[in-house]
Amino acid sequence: MSAATTEQTGTEHRPATPAAADVTAPLRNLSRVPWGRMRDSRGSAAAVPSLLNLLAWGEEAVARTALAELRERICQYGFVVEQATAPTVPFLWEIARLPHAACRAGVLDLLRNIAEARQWELTARSYPKLLHQGEDWVGWERQARRAVRADRHLLAPLLTENDPELATAASALARTLHM
């Protein structure tokens, strides 16, 4: 994740160090994440690396399709996060910083949706038994929000981009992160 190595703690996967996103070798750490052992909204998260690569390197139509599928898998309906969401976030930050990436504004919108996600926490307040189910939905949601905030310093250069759509998405994310 980013330029950091990956550390595993139970079902949580996160960067071992808070390194900045690596735009010199983007997505190079994808293979360090055990995607096949994680879940997304469709089951195994094994497809996430391919979607991230298509998002980073694909032409606009391909990248938009990859972004839509990735969104459904890691932040379904724009607010339901999954186990694979937090490990995906540092790669989304990397893609948002790639000048050639076709859907940078959409990536920032996805990061904003993840940062705002509180579906499982709100449900657990009304239905505390959710906290004692087999899956850690509330924990995944908190990890995902923390992952977005961990690299928020990468947002500053995107706020001044010449692309109005990108600058607007960056501003919306900055407001969500209270920057």
Amino acid at 11: T
How far is the CA of 55 from the CAs of 63, 102, 125, 141, 171, in angstroms?
4, 7, 36, 23, 21
Q: Which residues of the chain have pLDDT under 50?
A: 1-22
Helix (H, G, I), strand (E, B) or coil at 12: strand
Confidence (pTM): 0.82
Residues written for the chain: 179
What pLDDT shows up at residue 121? 72
Buried b (16+ CB within 10 A) or exposed e, 30-69: bebbebeebbbbeeebebbbebbbbbbbbeeeebbebbeb
What pLDDT shows up at residue 30? 95
Neighbours of 12 (CB within 10 A): 16
What pLDDT shows up at residue 130? 61
What pLDDT shows up at residue 8? 39
Looking at the chain, the whole-number percentage of residues with pLDDT higher than 70 is: 79
Q: What is the pLDDT of residues 42-81, one digit of tens each?
A: 999 999 999 999 999 999 999 999 999 999 999 988 878 8
154, 146 contact by CB (below 8 A): no
Please name the residues in contact with 66: beta carbons below 8 A apart, sequence gap of 6 or more. Answer: 51, 52, 54, 55, 58
What pLDDT shows up at residue 115? 97
Residue-range domain boundaries for the chain: 6-176
